[in-house]
A and B are shown apart, each in its own frame.
Chain A
Amino acid sequence: MTVQLMQGNEAIGWGAIAAGCRFYAGYPITPSTEVAEILARELPKVGGKFIQMEDEIASMAAIIGARLGGLKSMTATSGPGFSLMQENIGYAAIAEIPCVVVDVQRLGPSTGQPTAPSQGDVMQARWGTHGDHPIIALAPVSVRQAFDLTVVAFDMSERYRTPVILLTDEVIGHMREPVELPDFSKIQIFEHKVTEPPEEYKAFRNTPDGVPPLVPFGQGYRYHVTGLLHDELGFPTQRIDEIDPWLERVNTKLDKHIDQITLLAEDAQDGARVGLLSYGCTARAARHALKVARARGLKVDMLTLYTIWPFPEKQVEAFGERLDKIIVAEMNLGQLAYEVERVVGRKKVVRVTRANGEMVTPQMILDAMEG
């Protein structure tokens, strides 16, 4: 492969192709539409299928249906569409159907500012649907990482039988950077292996690692899938003795693999008492501020989160323990700062927030550092 100048949204499309995604359903919405456009063009070339559905609710439903039919599947959207998808994201979580949902965050609430960036869907990604369920959300900081984390999103969604949210933003989605994509044929995605015969297969079995293998429809392993609370066979149940073990498994399955799921970068400096914590496009502003601050002789640490959910409590807690002040920079009014405060205590956290469609600037972060 050669160096190409590529948008983040394009890189996401290529990441999907590289990960073996062979079905995309979506509805046009700024600033995510390029993901759909590239997959409409590229999927048929590799025998995959693209469909523009009538809305985002249908798009989310279709990717779940297609994954049950055996195709790795993805959709991409932005704030308003992400809101519409929530019910069926909850369905994918409870029915444990792997799928990837790209949310190119734009300024909200409501229609907001379609072409302006934001990181306002952090909490929606975690708690957008009703009820409790685990979720994975990944936030890239560059175009190349948009590719990488799309591949990782597919791998994690398969490995842990969960929807994975690629929580990117308009800045990363639309900006162009030179990238050299890796050889797609070397990319390996987790594949489910079933050893038991169909008559013994239980699609929602309690396994030691919390993730029972999934066999697609039409291969002799007939089973029931439902959004109702269900037993190991997938049949609806109201029996507490069947519901409790199932709930326990589903709600703890990601915890069992938390070290593999947690992706972040730590840039520590001896003697630092101040730390920056950021993610997505704002991490770029924070890194700029970090370099300027260090050039001015300040000692500063930085933690960039790539995995937003499950929240990397262990690492953030350690970060908080060795520092006096943590500056959390994000393009919302402090959504992830709530989590940081929960883990390290409110007194240590300084919020640098902006929710007017303009990026947090390095100067804003420097001011917080020096203030």
Chain B
Amino acid sequence: MSHEVADRIEIRLAGEGGQGMILAGIILAEAASIYSGKNVVQSQSYGPEARGGASKSEVIISNGEIDHPEVIEADILVALSQEAYRKFHKEVKPDGLLIVDADKVKDADERAIRIPITHLAFETTGRQITANTVALGVLVGLTGIVERQAIEKAVAARAPRGTEEMNRKALEAGFAAAAAVKK
């Protein structure tokens, strides 16, 4: 039914608390709004614990008005943990896109695109914490949902001081992985 409202793309980013998926949602939303001039609604939910547990971030992107602020049936799901995948994979459109961390989500639908996102993050920057930035590179690289420049600016603007280069590399690794899948 979300399709019945024109021009509405629903993205859900999910993982364990502490994997930075909520921040990834905010960065994607900023890339789409501040750096692309589109309308967005970003929201999140998380358990009471600061680390662990399932956390999700939702971004809805449109050129028009966005009414219902939550995902109805996702166009895109990015899942960085088995628990997150289990919880949300059923709420993806039949023709929707599933992106999973190949190492963390062992049990996934056939149509899921498997990329070792966390491993790539560690390999590229030496820090698993940059997995959320890698995921954004994969997501934008595969879908073109925002311009590459927009996500680059949004990542740079949100990167803590001193980590800009590390995050730039992580984003680039994500784009590279997406390009490899597309071939």
Contact = CB atoms under 8 A, between A and B. Distances in A.
A and B touch in the complex (CB under 8 A): yes
Given A3-B34, A288-B67, A177 B41 contact: yes
Q: Which 4 A-B pairs have the closest CB atoms?
A: A178-B33, A288-B68, A288-B67, A287-B67
18 contacts: A3-B34, A115-B46, A171-B43, A171-B70, A176-B26, A176-B29, A176-B40, A177-B33, A177-B39, A177-B42, A178-B34, A281-B69, A287-B68, A292-B4, A292-B5, A295-B4, A362-B68, A362-B72
A228 interface: no
B43 A5 contact: no
Interface residues of B, number: 24
Contact of A174 (B33, B40, B43, B47): B43
Interface of B: 1, 4-5, 26, 29-30, 33-34, 39-48, 66-70, 72
Given A178-B34, A288-B68, 18 more contacts: A115-B45, A115-B47, A115-B48, A171-B43, A174-B43, A174-B44, A175-B41, A175-B42, A176-B40, A176-B41, A177-B41, A177-B42, A178-B39, A281-B69, A287-B67, A361-B72, A363-B72, A366-B1
A4 interface: yes
Contact of B67 (A2, A174, A291): A291
Contacts of A178: 33-34, 39-40
Given A5-B33, A285-B68, A291 B44 contact: no
B69 A175 contact: yes
Contacts of B45: 115
A306 to B, nearest CB: 16
Contacts of B5: 288, 291-292, 295
A119 to B, nearest CB: 14
Interface residues of A, number: 26
A120 interface: no
Interface-centre pick from A5, A174, A287, A366 (highest chain B CB count, 10 A): A5
Interface string A1-36: 011110000000000000000000000000000000
A171 B69 contact: yes
Interface string A272-289: 000000000100110110
Nearest to A175: B43
Contacts of B66: 177
A177 B61 CA distance: 10
Contacts of B46: 115
Interface in A281-318: 281, 284-285, 287-288, 291-292, 295-296
